[in-house]
Amino acid sequence: MAETAQSTADSSRTSDAQSPMTPATDAFCSIERTVGIVGDRWTLLILREVLTRGVTRFNELTRALGIAPNILTNRLDLLTRSGIVTKREYREEGSRARLAYHPTDAGRELLVVLAALGQWGDDHVPPPEGIAQTRQTTDTGEQVRLGFVADASALLPTDKVAFVYTPEGAARMRDSGLIN
């Protein structure tokens, strides 16, 4: 049975659209509720692929991450139910319909979380071969860092920031067959 993107998006909502069901719905702390959704290694790596590389198809995520299909299915189900990704059907010629997972507005906002994790890792646990990505403005290519700001008008919108592979990072991705 074919499933449209709209009906899938509607089915991922709970009775309270402002509070999706998460593993920590009764938690007082927003950090605890958020970690209940995105706080595991596989989920963060799935989000990295979807948000920074535009990988949205199940088979591409499996290949890029080396993740078992059952684990990927479970994590994508949680991300869908939590309103972070939405399912969209696609069909390649001669094949059955399949699903791709695209970020919602709430999902795209998690790019800031990934950037903060990446920045912390670059600063405190960099790989011996050098960092794999930098965060840059899409307009000028200037590197950006995360921090606290007092004036929201000074914020750079997430669509104006790109994750760009360093030469070392690009070489490792090519060597692993994940990019050309």
Q: Shortest CA distance to 173 belongs to which of 163, 160, 158?
A: 163
Architecture per CATH, 5-109: Orthogonal Bundle (1.10)
pLDDT of residue 22: 52
Q: Give the pLDDT mean for 135-146.
A: 92
Residue 89 has pLDDT above 50, yes or no: yes
Distances (CA, A) of 125 to 42, 122, 129, 130, 131: 19, 6, 12, 10, 9
Q: Give the pLDDT mean for 117-136.
A: 93
Type and span of the H or E element at 111: helix 111-124
pLDDT of residue 72: 98
pLDDT of residue 155: 78
Distances (CA, A) of 63 to 122, 128, 160, 178: 25, 25, 28, 8
| Entry pTM | 0.76
Distance CA 28, CA 155 (A): 28
pLDDT of residue 161: 84
pLDDT of residue 86: 98
Residue 105 has pLDDT above 50, yes or no: yes
Q: Give the pLDDT mean for 150-158.
A: 78
Interval 3-60: pLDDT, tens: 333 333 333 333 333 344 556 677 778 888 899 999 999 999 999 999 999 999 999 9
Distance CA 150, CA 128 (A): 36
Tell me the torsion sign for CA atoms 118, 123, 127, 131: positive
Residue 122 has pLDDT above 50, yes or no: yes
pLDDT of residue 34: 93
pLDDT of residue 5: 39
DSSP for 7-62, please give it: HHHHHT--SSTTS---TTTT-S-HHHHHHHHH-SHHHHHHHHIIIII---BHHHHH
User: Environment class of residue 48 by beta-carbon count within 10 Å: exposed (0-12), middle (13-18) or buried (19+)?
Assistant: buried
- Domain parsing of the chain, residue ranges: 5-109, 111-175
